[in-house]
Chains A and B, each alone.
Chain A
């Protein structure tokens, strides 16, 4: 960890895992409160909770950073079972696999274009209102 400003030492790894586990447990409880027709997945609540706790300085960065960065580094591997899940739905792939892939490729480009250009529009309105040309 090469950080310019002096920082407290990273917490014990068990403390870090404990914080993650505690937040996940609470997220799970909150997630259960939502109806089936409006799912709010546990990791989403966990993400929001962790951000709020960090922003309110209840949880300090050094208490979660090391374990969090480690988990993010693993994420591509953790997605493997989600992909292999498709083995249980090969009938769909046989029926409309090619179309699915085409739609996904086009959707990716749609997402990039729409969000980037809506974003450019919103930001230019923002700059007009504040009269500030710099980002």
Chain B
């Protein structure tokens, strides 16, 4: 009997069901807390999901990693696969602002590559200051790219994709919490709108795009463009940087 239950729980249903439930709880918490920054649905979903798996492991006397691999992964992988078309779809917002993009394409590429390279250097410096291991440092580098692109890059430079994914999720949480404050003290509403849009888009991913859109149309458009260009920049820069400086 228990063997039948175990076999059935190892079907994709379990992973999909857990993901849906934890995400729904996250959305509900966001709603009743009026958007308190730590109740970001994705962050809540991630933490709750791990807690569920950890409790499951404790009660069955197994390890969390084993429960994750056996019961969560089959369903998780199905949802994960759909990140491919979803990430690809980010080409559509870029095409919709094609006029602006064509006008500034050279500046945007220069900004993303030069800014990206300086950021990589500073991120490595901060990681050193905090005494992170080589694997964690490598996982920190590609976080400006969108999650689905950043994770394979991290794996390519011997990082841990899971840590990179957490970094991308937390990026959005930090920007959600601090964007207004940072925009004010850095006077980002006064500098070039193209630059502000790119900065918010690469630091805060989709949440950054929403914040950028609230500043103006060009900022929002540029945040959308940044998803494509900064991902491309990270894909080229991170392996080169890791080879040269790590």
Q: Which residues of A does B touch, CB under 8 Å?
A: 20-21, 23-24, 27, 36-44, 46-51, 54-55, 61, 64-65, 67-69, 71-72, 74-90, 92, 95-96, 99-120, 122-124, 126, 135
A43→B148 contact, CB < 8 A = yes
B198→A65 contact, CB < 8 A = no
Please give the distance in Å from B197's CB to the nearest CB on chain A: 8
11 A-B pairs in the complex with CB atoms less than 8 angstroms apart:
A43-B87, A43-B149, A71-B89, A72-B90, A80-B22, A80-B23, A89-B163, A112-B200, A112-B202, A119-B199, A122-B114
B140 on the A face (CB < 8 A): yes
Main secondary structure of the interface of B (DSSP, over half): helix
**A47-B88, A116-B188 known, 6 other contacts, Cβ within 8 Å:** A44-B87, A107-B171, A113-B186, A116-B191, A116-B195, A117-B191
A104→B140 contact, CB < 8 A = yes
Q: Which of A23, A68, A75 neighbours the largest number of chain B CB atoms within 10 Å of its CB?
A: A75
Please give the distance in Å from B127's CB to the nearest CB on chain A: 5
Contacting residues, chain A, for B161 (C-beta < 8 A): 82, 85
A71→B76 contact, CB < 8 A = no
Q: Looking across the interface, which residue of chain B has its beta carbon closest to that of A73? A: B86
A120→B192 contact, CB < 8 A = yes
Within 8 A of A (CB), among B28-81: 41-43, 45-46, 49-50, 53-54, 64-65, 67-69, 72, 76-77, 79-80
3 smallest CB-CB distances across A and B, nearest first, come from A119-B195, A83-B46, A116-B199
A83-B166, A87-B65 are known contacts. Are A115 and B203 too (CB-CB below 8 A)?
yes
